[in-house]
């Protein structure tokens, strides 16, 4: 059975981007979150992104409206009953993801594929709470979703070839490039990116340079589009911390220990751009 209806769980920065690109490709999308405020915020970001595309002459006002009309917001996870594919993009915590997947397994039709946008958590462990581990898979988008080409696709131990192929086809349909990666903590993207960011935070913590200088070195010296501290703020410092914890625990090597300064900022509620303050202050 083909995929037509996609349910996206979590209307944060990633969930809203995923809903946008799926709806733009013609899928019928339901976007679910726990709070109306988050749904409104997510839909606001999607509308702003699409309006920018209209302003650039790459989309008509009618096409924009058609994309918006294909996105149905809801607070009710019962929406899983109508889904062919669920893409989960709630927060990066194993206990939350397990709860969500157990519920989805109860609600979603037997043919539905359950995908997670986790940045680092083992797919096999998430799949194990369901009675359909062969239909559970990692579909790891990059931030900002409408811009970044990559989707890492990660099979759990039991994921079938058929399910992998369906997800690879959908990834291409929404204009992204799939790269297959094995199920190890942090996959490839965050096993390489996050230790670099964590090291930049250590450099700040140890007083090696100012935050601006650290970012300038990596931007001007390595041609990175954003410095590592700006990028950490952009990803979300909570997400950065969770990923480092997964790497530290999952790979068992002290080189992945999260910097105490990162912990302190997250405890203070300084989560980066999304909360208005991280290493930098945002309007
Ligand atoms: C943590 C994980 O699990 C994995 C991850 O995602 S890690 C994070 C991966 N992402 C990155 O590393 C992003 C690094 N940063 C960048 O690539 C760039 O700074 C950027 C693309 C975000 C912005 O690019 P820029 O050249 O500085 O800015 P700007 O010229 O304003 O934008 C470039 C384009 O992106 C679009 N864009 C920028 N930010 C956007 C956003 N948040 N949402 C949608 N579109 C956006 C702009 O509209 C513009 O589009 P056009 O070229 O079509 O006009
Ligand atoms: N940020 C990034 O660069 C990337 C993140 N990811 C992954 O994507 C996922 C989401 O990250 P991101 O969008 O940045 O995080 P955000 O904090 O922006 O969004 C998470 C959203 O999920 C909601 N949520 C939390 N629990 C539940 C639940 N049980 N059911 C439904 N919604 C829930 C949150 O609501 P509330 O705020 O009310 O708790 C919030 O709206 C994480 O797994 C992350 O690791 C993957 C690639 C890149």
Share the mean pLDDT of the chain: 97
What pLDDT digit, counting tens, does each position of 98-156 carry?
999 999 999 999 999 999 999 999 999 999 999 999 999 999 999 999 999 999 999 99
Phi, psi (deg, nearest 5) at residue 85: -140, 135
The pLDDT assigned to 259 comes to 98
Query: Which mutation among 89, 188, 232, 269 tests ligand 2's pocket best, with the greatest number of atoms within 8 A of CB?
Result: 89
pLDDT value for 1:
63
Q: Report in angstroms the alpha-carbon separations of 72 from 25, 38, 75, 93, 158.
A: 15, 14, 10, 26, 32
Task: Give, for ligand 1, the residue of 54, 147, 282 to mutate: max count of ligand atoms closer than 8 Å to Cβ.
Answer: 147
267 annotated active-site = no
Per residue in 52-100, pLDDT tens?
A: 999 999 999 999 999 999 999 999 999 999 999 999 999 999 999 999 9
Alpha-carbon distance of 134 to 150, in angstroms, equals 23
Ligand 2 pocket test target in 76, 90, 144, 272 with most atoms within 8 Å of CB: 90
Q: Mean pLDDT over residues 224-236, rounded?
A: 98
Active site includes 190?
Answer: yes
Nearest in space to 6 (alpha carbons), one of 75, 104, 80 = 80
Percent above pLDDT 70 for the chain: 100
- Dist CA 75 CA 242 (whole Å): 25
Q: Over 80: is that where the pLDDT of 234 sits?
A: yes
Residue 142 exposure: Cα atoms within 13 Å on the Cβ side: 16
Q: Whose atoms come closest to the Cα of 233: which ligand?
A: 2
Q: Is the CB of 57 under 6 A from ligand 1?
A: no
pLDDT at 96: 98
Interval between CA 159 and ligand 1 midpoint (Å): 32
pLDDT of residue 283: 83
* Angle between the N-to-C axes of helices 36-55 and 61-69, in degrees from 0 to 180, rounded to the nearest 10: 160
Ligand with smallest separation from the Cα of 118 = 2
Determine which one of 49, 190, 198, 245 is catalytic.
Answer: 190
Torsion of CA 251, 254, 255, 261, to 10 degrees: 120
- Write down how long the chain is: 283
**What residue ranges line ligand 2, CB within 6 angstroms?**
9-15, 32-35, 38, 89-92, 96, 100, 117-119, 140-143, 235-236, 239, 274
Residue 246: its pLDDT value, please? 97
Model pLDDT, residue 13:
95
Closest atom of ligand 2 to 16 CA is 13
Ligand 2 centroid to residue 56 C-alpha, Å: 29
- Angle value at C-alpha 160, between 154 and 165, nearest 5 degrees: 70
Calculate how far, in angstroms, residue 13's C-alpha sits from the geometric centre of ligand 2. Answer: 7
Q: In what order do the strands lie in the sheet with 113-116?
A: 71-74, 28-32, 5-9, 85-88, 113-116, 136-141, 150-155, 177-181
Decide if 119 is catalytic: yes
């Amino acid at each position: 059975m083909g995929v037509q209806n996609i349910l996206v769980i979590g209307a944060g920065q990633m969930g809203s981007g995923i809903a946008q690109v799926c709806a733009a490709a013609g899928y019928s999308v339901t976007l679910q979150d726990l709070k109306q405020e988050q749904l409104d915020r997510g839909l606001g970001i999607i509308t702003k992104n699409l309006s920018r595309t209209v302003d650039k002459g790459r989309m008509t006002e009618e096409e924009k409206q058609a994309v918006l009309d294909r996105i149905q917001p809801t607070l009710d996870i019962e929406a899983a009953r109508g889904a062919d594919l669920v893409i989960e993009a709630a927060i990066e915590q194993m206990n939350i993801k397990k709860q969500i997947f157990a519920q989805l397994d109860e609600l979603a039709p037997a043919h539905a594929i359950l995908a997670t946008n986790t940045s680092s958590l083992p797919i096999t462990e998430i799949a194990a709470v369901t009675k359909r581990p062969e239909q559970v898979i990692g579909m790891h988008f990059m931030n900002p979703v409408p811009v970044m080409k990559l989707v890492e696709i990660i099979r759990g131990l039991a994921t079938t070839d058929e399910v992998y192929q369906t997800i690879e086809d959908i990834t291409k349909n929404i204009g992204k490039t799939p790269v297959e990666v094995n199920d190890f903590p942090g996959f490839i993207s965050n096993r390489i990116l996050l230790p670099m960011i964590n090291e930049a935070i250590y450099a700040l913590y140890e007083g090696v340079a100012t935050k601006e200088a650290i970012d300038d070195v990596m931007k001007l010296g390595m041609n990175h589009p954003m410095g590592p501290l700006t990028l950490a703020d952009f990803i979300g410092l909570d997400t950065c911390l969770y990923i480092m914890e997964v790497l530290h625990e999952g790979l068992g090597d002290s080189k992945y220990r999260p910097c105490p300064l990162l912990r302190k900022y997250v405890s203070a509620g300084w989560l980066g751009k999304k909360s208005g303050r991280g290493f930098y202050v945002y309007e």
